[in-house]
Amino acid sequence: MLPSVSDGIDGTLVVAECFKNIPFIIKRIYYIYDLENRQAVRGKHAHRNLEQVIFCINGSFVLGVDDGTNKENILMNQRNQGIYLGTKVWHTMADFSPDCLMLVLASDTFNESDYIRNYNEFIDYLKSF
């Protein structure tokens, strides 16, 4: 949970700080919006080394996480509550509200070779540890 400070009629400030409430140095920030297809499923991958914290700063969506043993679906609808996605976690995003806005803080820049985009390959990769 990120700290927030309400300024009354002047709004609310939410702050994320490396190693204080984000467990890594942030090297990449991206956001996803205009999710008009409510049937869309995004993500569908895992990372070998990348760490992320994902937020829903407007609207809602369901975050699916899977470590190869345990699976969980998390309703994302609180602006200052993020979910830490460590390495080797298969994740999906679905059931988007029309006004959904996702924000992701990542530990590194984009690197296609870090992605595992096939679920069976993900399970095989986990077996190598």
Which residues are the active-site residues?
45
Residue 68 DSSP SS3: coil
Q: Torsion-angle region of residue 19: left (phi > 0), alpha (psi -120 to 50) or beta?
A: left
Tally of CA atoms within 13 A in the half-sphere of 94 that contains its CB: 10
- Cα–Cα separations (whole angstroms), residue 7 to 4, 11, 55, 63: 10, 5, 22, 30
The token duo for 2 is 């990120």
Token representation of residue 79: 């602006």
- The end-to-end CA distance of the chain, in Å, is 31
